[in-house]
Amino acid sequence: MKLFDLSGKTALITGSSMGIGFALARGLCEAGAHVVLNARGTDLLEAAAQKLRNKGYTAHTLNFDVTDHAGVAQSIDGFEKNHGPIDILINNAGMQFRAPLHEFPADKFDQLMRTNVTSVFNVGQAVAKHMIKRGTGKIINIASVQTALARPGIAPYTATKGAVANLTKGMATDWAQLGLNCNAIAPGYFDTPLNAALVADPEFSAWLEKRTPAGRWGQIEELVGAAVFLASNASNFVNGHTLFVDGGITASL
């Protein structure tokens, strides 16, 4: 279907050497896009890109730290100059750290904020400056089920993901009139490297299966459809929206 066709588009996905980021990159490739993978680990990044190239897809790499405002801008500007426009941005880079709030290390709180929130501003702004000149672009920020809910031990992470959703609304409010679509995807509990400790915990998995109407962990491939929708012309009048892909967990007590 032409509405969902991404042929000829180039998509930058941050934090895409593994997990959700890599799955989304592969899914956009399958929809016709060329992708730009980003991470800080050169070896993992190149290995991920090669996996896509082996399947006949076009995959570039950009090794930059999403928390470095000047470094992000330099990398984005350089890519646009040397390779052409970035049509789609998925702000996926993120981290987790678990501890009771009254014992939460201040340095980890700051690191969470920089990695999960400041990065969305840094990369979003750098890419948007080019998109605005062209009058078109798609920005997708990865939020979380914790955008709407909280659990013990992750209060700062919950705060960051609430901020991502509201920053998405702000992006849409400022940039929709300039031709950009800015939305977010909020995954529920997915079997990813970030959740490895929880997946390995039988007690937690049993709780999750009872708590989630779908009765199971999500598989990362199940996020691809939402990403393709928000990256394509099918979502041209969708702006400032957070799309929960969570097996129904936010719909049910």
- Longest CA–CA span in the chain (Å) reads 52
Instruction: Output the DSSP codes for 128-164.
Output: HHHHHHHT-EEEEEE--GGGT---TT-HHHHHHHHHH
End-to-end CA distance of the chain: 37
157 among known catalytic residues = yes
CA distance 110 to 55: 39
**Three-class DSSP category at 18:** coil
Select which of 157, 189, 217, 244 is catalytic: 157
> How many Cα atoms sit within 13 Å of 12 on the Cβ side?
32
Strands (E) in 39-148, as ranges, are 59-62, 88-91, 137-142
**Active-site residues: which are they?**
157
